[in-house]
Amino acid sequence: MHPLLENLNTIKSKLLKIETSGLCLDIFTLPNDMQIYSSSNFSKVLCVAISEQEMTRVSENAPSRPPSRVAHWDLRSKQGQIYLDSFVVFSSQQEKISCVWIHLHRCAMNDIQFKNLIQKIYNRCTEDTTLYIVCVDGELAAQYAMSHVIYIDRENNMQMQYHKQPIKTISLAAIRNICAENGFIEKNSINGEQMLKLSNINCLPYDLWTSQTFFLLKFKSKFHFQRYC
């Protein structure tokens, strides 16, 4: 497995341990992520799997505590996003979301789809909700490919050892703009190479270059009446 993708679980675990309480919404959950929550302080975890097959694996890996619920919908569709909103409302028992994690690199969304998703998430957030987004900068990947630093196949997938990463997706700039326009303030960002260095992981040059196209963004939600100020 690509060293960055293999290490995402460790990075996620460290960051989520900082969160002290409340409800966590995990979108496009990786099956091996579920054990992270066994040592967390969340009151409940709501997960949306990328597929029905993974939904079963995520459910099987769920810890006994905190309570967790796992579902699957196509969040690129309006209907899927409506189901997500209802899922959060009925599962939270009026408790607001305190933390959101989106593995956006796992789903090729366009600008409109992502904007609608962020709007629905923001409406269920508290003041100061933390939003983490793992994404890939397809435009940067395309530049690297033109320089023959990395390889992209005919289906616009970046080759990452045994993983094929789609790059025809929403741009990094659009993610930042949409979040800023819909109630979230960017607090920090780090690229994949920096993530590897923080974890003291050495890798081959090709793996390092492909890692540079990945980003982890951290946002905080504004208080609702400040949204348009």
- Residue 200: per-residue pLDDT: 86
Distance CA 76, CA 84 (A): 11
Name residues of the chain where pLDDT drops below 70: 224-229
- Residue 116: per-residue pLDDT: 97
170, 176 contact by CB (below 8 A)? no
- Residue 91: per-residue pLDDT: 84
**Which residues have CB under 8 Å from 36's CB, separation 6+?**
9, 12, 13, 16
Distance CA 14, CA 122 (A): 24
The answer for 114, left when phi > 0, alpha when psi is -120 to 50, beta otherwise, is: alpha
34: tokens are 């579920």
b/e sequence 48-78, b meaning 16+ C-beta within 10 Å? bbbeeebbebbbebbeeebebbbebbebbee
- Residue 226: per-residue pLDDT: 52
pTM, 2 dp: 0.93
